[in-house]
Structure 1
Amino acid sequence: MGKQPNLYAFGDTDSLAKALRKYILRCQKAGFERHNAFKIAVSGGSLPKTLAKALLAQDDEEGKVDFSKWEVFFADERAVPLDHEDSNYGLLKKDLLDKIPESIGKPTVHPIDVQYMDDVQEMADQYQDALMKSFAAKDSVKIPIFDLLLLGCGPDGHTCSLFPNHELLRESDAWVAPIEDSPKPPKERITLTLPVVTGGIKIAFVATGEGKRDVLGKILDTEEGRSLPCGLVNEGGGDKVSWFTDHGAVQGVGFTRSEL
């Protein structure tokens, strides 16, 4: 194996959020230096709440969040209306976007086009088109290179809507793929593909709580866990990948901790 991911563990969610803010601001600075923008992909679940805690903090010595130059995509999305409780956009809007003060700018956000909810292949194609408009045409770049992907980890080791042993893990051509048989409801979704996820400049997982302990032990400590979707991101991303966890999630996990 090449360079290993970074594992950061914190005593509580406040400490985690503060460290995540510092990390995101570093990524933002690099994005601004690279192309005067900050292009990120985010997941749903509990992540938007943690992001709100990290990003809505007042300016501090770490620097300032400048949302006006942010471009926000979704690492995966459900084929549901944007105000549905299962919508990742809806979660991010409720927990973060609606709470951003005007003084720190508003990000450009790319939700799914809900007119294609009954045709997830078309929805995936349309979302891929949105990526092409932002990053480059597909015939001129192999994959879109995000400045940062902010991801979660399911109890089965899935991330985005990439599930264990699913054929989508082998998709290497499309940037965005449909899934119509998600083992977790709702069944119909779209997701960034594995090459796009591992191609990011930086990739961060946020996983907290004792309920994540078993799966993190598997992903970080066992050979078997390397074939789970989160393990495949670790393998493909190496030290571009950072895990932000609390002590409960990694209690008993042998993987070496890093210092931020």
Structure 2
Amino acid sequence: MAAPMVTVLESETEVSTKLCDLVVDKANSAIEKDGKFTVGLSGGSMAKFLCNGLPGRQTDWSKWQVFFCDERHVPYTDPECTYTIYKSKLVDNGGPLPGENIFPINPDIPVEDAAKEYRDKILGVFGVDATPRFHLLLLGMGPDGHTCSLFPSHSLLQVKDEIIAPISDSPKPPPRRVTMTFPLINNCQCAIFASCGAGKADIVKKVLESNGGDPLPAARVRPTNGELVWLLDKAAASQLKTQSNI
């Protein structure tokens, strides 16, 4: 089980740059080895970092296969739609990513059906019946320690037999979402969190330095045979007892 590798950088700008450097390195290594790069994206600040920093980087975008670690069950026209954020920056208007290489959920069917369809879409693209192994998952963390749409004390934390699940009672709106579950998340080759700002310092400490008890969802991300990377600026890392660098 992977222990976190923590890098503390001076600023949010340096975190964004380091994040995009790592993503492109992972992509190019995967393409060289496997002929493709499978990646799961998240919204929030992760979307901002990636959409601003990835265009113009040297990589074979035609070999990228882009999915979502979680997605809000809202129309593509809704500003809450994570897919639309990435599509507008990476696909539309001459963006580098081919549109057929990004895989959104279907918001026009019930959320339970959307989750099943997305599971089948992932399995079909990977060409496997077992749990797929993503090259990279790029994860966010909320102020309550949630990641993807996996919230503290929610029943989805206990899911062991599904790789994708619907949620209709998210404590953070909108209530309906489709999310990866821990069997899929912890099967990845590498997971990366990027957190910045003093407002994240307390929850970063709780996730990275908690001992015993019921771990917060973000603390449950521990790839069983892969890497776990945390990129923090100094403000987000300010309450950690120890700070190390990759």
The separation in 2 between residues aligned to 1:44 and 1:110, in whole angstroms, is 15
Return the letter of the residue paired with 1:112. I
Q: Could you tell me the TM-score, scaled by structure 2's length?
A: 0.92
- What CA distance in whole angstroms lies between the structure 2 residues aligned with 1:224 and 1:174? 26
State the 1:248 CA deviation. Answer: 0.9
Matched letter for residue 8 of structure 1:
T
Superposition map of 1:2-151 within 5 A = 3-56=2-55, 58-59=56-57, 64-98=58-92, 101=95, 104-106=96-98, 108-116=101-109, 119-138=110-129, 141=130, 143-151=131-139
- How far, CA to CA, are the matches of 2:226 and 2:242 in structure 1? 14
Counterparts of residues 155-170 of structure 1 (less than 5 Å)? 155-170=143-158
Question: Could you report, residue by residue, the CA deviation over 1:188-232 in whole angstroms, capped at 9, with x for unpaired residues?
Answer: 111011110111111001111111111001011121587111100
Secondary structure, counterpart of 1:204 in structure 2: strand
Q: Quote the RMSD (CA, aligned, Å).
A: 1.9
**How many aligned residue pairs are there?**
245
Equivalent residue number for residue 161 of structure 2 = 173
Alpha carbons 1:40, 1:147 under 8 Å: kept: yes
2:206 is paired with a residue of what secondary structure? helix
Contact 1:123–1:190 (CA<8 Å) still a contact in 2? yes
- SS of the aligned residue for 1:187 comes to coil
Q: In 2, distance between residues paired with 1:222 and 1:105?
A: 39
Work out whether residues 221 and 255 of structure 1, in 8 Å CA contact, stay in contact via their aligned partners in 2.
no
Q: Does 2:240 correspond to 1:253?
A: yes
Q: How many percent identity over aligned positions?
A: 34
Cα distance change on mapping 1:209 and 1:136 into 2, 3 Å: same
What's 1:206 paired with? 194
Distance, in Å, in 2 between the alignment partners of 1:66 and 1:37 is: 9
Change (3 A) 1:239 1:112: closer
1:187, distance to aligned residue in structure 2 (A): 0.7
| Structure 2 residues without counterparts, runs of 5 or longer | none
1:94 is displaced (CA, Å) by 3.3
Whether contact under 8 Å (1:4, 1:239) holds in the other structure is: no
- What secondary structure does 2:229 align onto? strand
Would you say the 8 A contact 2:90–2:97 is kept in 1?
no
What 5-or-longer segments of structure 1 have no aligned partner? none
Tell me, in whole angstroms, the C-alpha distance in 2 between the residues paired with 1:41 and 1:100.
22
Which structure has greater helix proportion? 1
Q: CA shift at 1:47, angstroms?
A: 1.1
What is the DSSP-based 3-state SS (H/G/I as helix, E as strand, rest coil) of the residue aligned with 1:190?
A: strand
